[in-house]
């Protein structure tokens, strides 16, 4: 494996790209047609074939599929059980989960259960590839205190971005018996993705290895991560979600895009932000906007403060994660994701919401036995590209450690740790004012974030990486070994 190709992105940051700064680099792409309003679809739930209590046993097959991803055209895709997004894995704390996986793709793959705290052999990391035609049983038990919103996606060596862009991703919902939010709230799952298509419907996936000079997009993809010009919610373009005036809805939102960072806003409304990657906060936080980096999840309460018959728009507002030379066309205009349509019914009286959600145990910095310094440059951690044969950080089961992630370059990198949820301590030395469980932290350009983590169980080799999929695939990844 040549290291030269990993150096390319660095050069791009230094020398302005005439091609990128022009307006034309997306001109060969199919443009979104205005789709007729469709009601927001919810992915189906994986049927449980087990008769045993506290056991969820499901079957997932990854296979090529010809699907209409954008209305009016057909695309050659990859799909879990024939669907994009794949069906939702719905489980409860304490459940034993058995996933019978079959790989009917022409390429090796894995399923990674992003953020779920499980043994290393079930993690679907690049160490456990499933060959074409092969099968694998993922078996794990869901710990108490981990209820939340997660997602699953392929994680093979060098091919994650390609396979996810082809359609392989799905949601995981872990429920708790003692969920503090009223069970009567209408729940909505919103899986956010983007994609790009060539005229005729083919998914526009420039070959980056070797660098594909035919498609000008490939160069930009290497730097920015691949962004699509068509934005989807649960696989639909601009769908409509309905709400009744006065109603409170619980939204679980997943950023499953390869590189796009969403800055969510709902016109005329504020959100009650109640949860993060690893589940609910201790108390709700009222906010106008949510920044959701790649692979992050949030739980939001949306209060139906609008009048019957009115409509509001969920948009993603401009978010400048880019080096100036590679900002995509239109990056600074808000984009519509979803219309929220109020029914004509008279308002219902709002349910009472408790201001205490749960207690999150504190990971105490006084217990930390090491601080791990990770510097991120373009495509590299601590100046190195990933090597499957190298261990970058080694530690002991039960240890508590602080990780300090410093971004040395002029674009954001979302840092993801496998295996363990962590608590964010501070950003640029400024303490984070609320406690939450996270598995991914976006580190904006030239900033530093610190988190604390306890390796409570599950020894083995765990990956950590940038969750811009092109960066991950190029080797912006390292290995943590817990002994």
471 binds Cu ion (CB under 5 A): yes
CB 409 within 8 A of CB 376: yes
468 binds Cu ion (CB under 5 A): yes
Pick the closest to residue 230 from 113, 342, 337, 149 (CA basis). 337
- We find the least distance from the C-beta atom of residue 471 to Cu ion, in angstroms, to be 3
153 binds Cu ion (CB under 5 A): no
User: Of the two residues 413 and 416, which places its CB atom closer to ligand C2O in the complex?
Assistant: 416
Binding mask 329-368 for ligand C2O (x = CB under 6 A): ----------------------------------------
Q: Which of 253, 312, 463, 479 binds ligand C2O (CB under 6 A)?
A: 463
Could you tell which of Cu ion, ligand C2O, none binds residue 243, using a CB distance below 5 to 8 A set by kind? none
CB 309 within 8 A of CB 344: yes
The C-alpha atoms of residue 73 and residue 61 are separated, in whole angstroms, by 24
295 binds ligand C2O (CB under 6 A): yes
413 binds ligand C2O (CB under 6 A): no
CB 213 within 8 A of CB 8: no
- We find the least distance from the C-beta atom of residue 472 to ligand C2O, in angstroms, to be 7
- We find the least distance from the C-beta atom of residue 386 to ligand C2O, in angstroms, to be 11
Binding mask 114-153 for ligand C2O (x = CB under 6 A): x--------------------------------------x
State which residue has the least CB distance to Cu ion: 466
Pair of tokens at residue 325: 């030379």
Pair of tokens at residue 143: 């710990």
H or E segment at 248? strand 248-255
Q: What are phi and psi of 286, to 5 degrees?
A: -85, 130
- We find the least distance from the C-beta atom of residue 326 to Cu ion, in angstroms, to be 13
The C-alpha atoms of residue 167 and residue 207 are separated, in whole angstroms, by 17
User: Of the two residues 279 and 306, which places its CB atom closer to ligand C2O in the complex?
Assistant: 279
| Distance set, CA 104 to CA 130, 244, 283 (Å) | 10, 43, 44
Tally of CB atoms within 10 A around 360: 18
State which residue has the least CB distance to ligand C2O: 114
Site for Cu ion in 406-425 (CB under 5 A): 413
DSSP string, 87-138: EEEEEETT-EEEEEEEE-SSS-B--EEET----GGGS--TTS-B-TT-EEEE
The residues of the shown chain that bind ligand C2O, judged by CB under 6 A, are 112, 114, 153, 155, 295, 416, 418, 463, 465, 467
């Amino acid at each position: 494996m040549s290291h030269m190709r990993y150096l390319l992105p660095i050069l791009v940051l230094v020398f302005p790209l005439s091609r990128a700064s022009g307006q034309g680099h997306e001109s060969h792409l199919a443009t979104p047609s205005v789709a007729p309003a469709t009601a927001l679809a919810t992915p189906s739930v994986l049927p449980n074939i087990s008769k045993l209590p506290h056991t969820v046993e499901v079957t997932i097959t990854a296979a090529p599929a010809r699907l209409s991803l954008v209305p009016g055209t057909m695309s050659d895709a990859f799909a879990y059980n024939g669907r994009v997004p794949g069906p939702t894995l719905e489980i409860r704390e304490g459940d034993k989960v058995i996933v019978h996986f079959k790989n009917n793709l022409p390429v090796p793959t894995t399923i990674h259960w992003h953020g779920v705290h499980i043994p290393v052999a079930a993690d679907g990391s690049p160490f456990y590839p499933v060959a074409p035609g092969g099968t694998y049983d993922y078996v794990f038990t869901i710990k108490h205190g981990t209820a939340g919103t997660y997602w699953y996606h392929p994680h093979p060596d060098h091919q994650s971005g390609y396979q996810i862009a082809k359609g392989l991703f799905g949601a995981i919902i872990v429920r708790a018996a003692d969920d503090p939010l009223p069970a009567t709230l209408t729940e909505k799952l919103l899986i956010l993705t983007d994609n790009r298509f060539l005229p005729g419907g083919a998914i526009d996936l420039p070959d980056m290895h070797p660098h594909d000079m035919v498609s000008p997009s490939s160069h930009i993809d290497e730097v920015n991560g691949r962004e699509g010009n068509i934005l989807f919610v649960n696989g639909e373009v601009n769908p409509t979600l309905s709400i009744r005036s006065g109603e409170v809805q619980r939204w679980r939102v997943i950023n499953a895009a390869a590189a796009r960072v969403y800055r969510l806003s709902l016109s005329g409304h504020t959100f009650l932000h109640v949860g993060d990657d690893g589940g609910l906060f201790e108390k709700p936080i009222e906010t106008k906007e949510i920044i959701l980096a790649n692979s992050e999840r949030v739980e939001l309460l949306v209060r139906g403060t609008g009048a019957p018959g009115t409509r509001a728009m969920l948009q993603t507002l401009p978010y400048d994660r880019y080096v100036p030379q590679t900002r995509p066309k239109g990056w600074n205009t808000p984009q519509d994701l979803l219309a929220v349509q109020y029914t004509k019914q008279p308002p219902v009286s709002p349910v009472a919401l408790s201001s205490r959600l749960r207690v999150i145990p504190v990971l105490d910095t006084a217990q930390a036995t090491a601080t791990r310094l990770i510097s991120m440059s373009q495509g590299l951690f601590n100046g190195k590209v990933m090597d499957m044969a190298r261990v970058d950080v080694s530690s002991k089961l039960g240890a508590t450690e602080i990780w300090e992630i410093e971004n040395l370059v002029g674009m954001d990198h979302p840092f993801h740790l496998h295996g363990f949820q962590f608590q964010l301590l501070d950003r640029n030395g400024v303490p984070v004012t609320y406690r939450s469980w996270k598995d991914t932290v976006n580190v904006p350009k030239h900033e530093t974030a610190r988190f604390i983590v306890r390796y409570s169980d599950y020894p083995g080799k765990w990956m950590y990486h940038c969750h811009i999929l092109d960066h991950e695939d190029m080797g912006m990844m390292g290995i943590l070994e817990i002994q």
